[in-house]
Amino acid sequence: MTVKSTGTSAGGDGAARKAGRASRMIATEEACSIPEVAERLGQLSRSTWDSLDIKLVGSIYNAPPDDPNPLLPQLLDIGAGRLETMDESGVDMHLLSLTAPGVQMFDADTAAALATLANDRLAEAVTAHPTRFAALATCAPQDPRRAVREMERAVGTLGMHGFMINSHTGNEYLDQQKYWPILEAAEALNAPIYIHPRAPSDGMAAPFRDYRLDAAVWGYGIEVGTHAVRLMMSGVLDRFENLKIVLGHMGEAVPFWLWRLDYMGRPGRQGRTQKLRASEYFARNFAITTSGVEDPLALRYCIDRIGVDSIMWAIDHPYQPTPPAAEWIHAAPLTDEEREKICHGNAERIFGIEAVSA
């Protein structure tokens, strides 16, 4: 089954957009789950494991029956309710992905089986609503060989548009050689890897245990920003020159650090062996989305610093509400060309989502 994701205007009626609105709205970091993964995460949250991720996992998947977390039904809804929310704000398409921490906290066998199941379910959702949904695949980095096979199936058979990896796996990062087959497969398939946050790995977790710094308020950005910097400073991107990495949340602050990364981490300084400066890797190998950062000043900085062709709009549904995210991008001080690229053109090009006629 090969799925072709296209798209129409929200609601399928082709109604003209209001002034300042893009002709198409593709949201590129939109979370979902399936019951089997949710059940397993609930079981995990009842264990004695003290992983920093357990706080959030437990609050969603192990909430008291008399006080359920409203996020869970929204994550499990990849049908009518989600479409209604999209229609209310004029969102044409969600690029779906299995929500963090994905399958990366399970043993390898469980993770691989659930990755396959989740990809099949997301492909079914795209088949049911091919003009409204596209999808990123999940894989189990715990077993890189099986991960590569699933990546190839997800793109080649299911027609998915890239891969969602939730930062570290077992406190390890993608620059480490054991994970290079995953990078090689993504490059060969011409399909981006979206590195999504999870709580900081055990080696950096201690300061984040206080004040609920573990999650989106601070820990998530620090975790993924660190992951991205490791990929640049390790020189692994010298080997995978055509690999595309996507970072959410306005680039997890990395764009704002590029000058200092270039200066303090330049090739040759302190024995560094990577070939390029950080800003050169970022320009060649990275793109970002706006998910969860509705700040026009940050957006303008990123446009000026890394270029409008590397930026895509996202909501971060259901963790961020849809109406403010849509209203923000409509009101942002952008040229018409910038808005069209950020709202759909770049997603079509970077993720290989089929463009539609105006």
> Do 278 and 229 meet the contact criterion of CB atoms below 8 Å apart?
yes
pLDDT per position as a tens digit, 316-355: 999 999 999 999 999 999 999 999 999 999 999 999 999 9
- The pTM for the full model equals 0.94
Chain-centroid distance, C-alpha 71: 18
Q: Where are the alpha helices (DSSP H) in 23-168?
A: 35-45, 54-61, 71-76, 80-88, 108-128, 144-156
Sign of the alpha-carbon torsion through 65, 66, 72, 73: positive
Tokens of 9: 């205007």
In a domain, 41, yes or no: yes
Kindly state whether residue 7 falls inside one of the protein's structural domains.
no
Residue 357 lies in a domain: no
- Answer whether residue 174 is part of any domain: yes
Residue 115 covered by a domain: yes
Tokens standing for residue 158 = 């299911």
10 found inside a domain? no
Q: How far apart are CA 293 and CA 310, in angstroms?
A: 16
Domain ranges, residue 153:
22-351
**What is residue 15's DSSP assignment?**
P
Residue 316 is among the residues annotated as catalytic for this protein: yes
The total domain count for the chain is: 1
Q: What's the CA angle centered on 290, arms 139 and 90, to 5 degrees?
A: 95
Q: Using one digit for the tens of pLDDT, what is the confidence trace for 29-53?
A: 999 999 999 999 999 999 999 999 9
Query: Does 4 fall in a domain?
Result: no
What is the DSSP secondary-structure string of 316-358?
-TTTS-HHHHHHHHHHS---HHHHHIIIIIHHHHHHTPPP---
Q: List the chain pLDDT tens, one digit each, 358 residues.
A: 444 455 443 444 333 345 679 999 999 999 999 999 999 999 999 999 999 999 999 999 999 999 999 999 999 999 999 999 999 999 999 999 999 999 999 999 999 999 999 999 999 999 999 999 999 999 999 999 999 999 999 999 999 999 999 999 999 999 999 999 999 999 999 999 999 999 999 999 999 999 999 999 999 999 999 999 999 999 999 999 999 999 999 999 999 999 999 999 999 999 999 999 999 999 999 999 999 999 999 999 999 999 999 999 999 999 999 999 999 999 999 999 999 999 999 999 999 999 987 5
320 lies in a domain? yes
- Comparing CA positions, the residue from 231, 256, 251, 250 lying closest to residue 241 is 231
Q: Please, which residues have CB within 8 angstroms of residue 258's CB and are 6 or more apart in sequence?
A: 278, 279, 282, 305, 306
Catalytic, out of 53, 92, 175, 316:
316
- What CATH number does residue 110 fall under? 3.20.20.140
